[in-house]
Amino acid sequence: MAALEGKIAWVTGAGTGIGQAAAVALAREGATVVLTGRRKEPLDETVAAIAKAGGKAVAKPGDMMKAEMVNRVVADIDKEFGRLDILVNNAGLNITERNWKQLTPEGLDTVVQGNLSSAFYCAMAVLPIMRRQRDGVLIHTSSWAGRWVSPLSGSAYNAAKHGVVAMSHGINMEECVNGIRSCVVCPGEVATPILDKRPVPVSQEDRAKMVQSEDCGDLIRYIACLPPHVCINEVVISPTWNRGYVAALQQPHVGASKK
């Protein structure tokens, strides 16, 4: 019997990238997966791929930046399945105009709402169901930028992803007595479509060296399969060929003698 047989999982940002890979991995483990994202077509493609492999999935499109839509999706899940065991809180975005000279109030609102507010909306919506069950696991996609500030990601994204890390730890502090576990995953560079928003294009050669969506999907599957008495609070995952480290190695060493 698969480890997640009979479990209901909800994955946001499920049409592409990490969310899509997580949905496929959870379905392979036996979970029935509810897929949410702003675009219906990629969700339908993921549903079809899961069904072809013998898994079970259903698409419920929606914009997670709107609290009322989040609540409507969760109400539908509760009505249809009567439970919710796993939340993969993965919806997120970034903008190209991200440095302080370019950042606008509208851009800031987009990044904060798309990464932090949406994550809060989803967590707040599912927690009552999980409290009722006295069981459940929430897995949030933060970022390397949620742990270490970098100009590469932009200040708005850095701040929002730091907020996701704090949110997840806060859930554990209050909800551990209800049998609920929260894990925040902080990936370094992952070869997903969000790279297309980078001000400086990322080559295919560099993308091939990065963590792949499937790597994150398998990690999320592992976390979801852990027994109820085990909580992984936080995971940092990065490429072996870490471009930040490589760039630092290529800089002249401070205090090095000049010859």
- By annotation, the residues acting in catalysis are 157
The closest alpha carbon to 184, from 156, 225, 216, 212, belongs to 216
User: H helices of the chain, where?
Assistant: 17-28, 40-52, 67-81, 105-112, 118-133, 155-175, 204-209, 213-225, 243-249
Contacts from 206-214 at CB under 8 Å and sequence distance 24+? 206/243, 209/239, 209/240, 209/241, 210/239, 210/241, 211/187, 211/237, 211/238, 211/239, 212/21, 213/17, 213/18, 213/20, 213/21, 214/21, 214/25
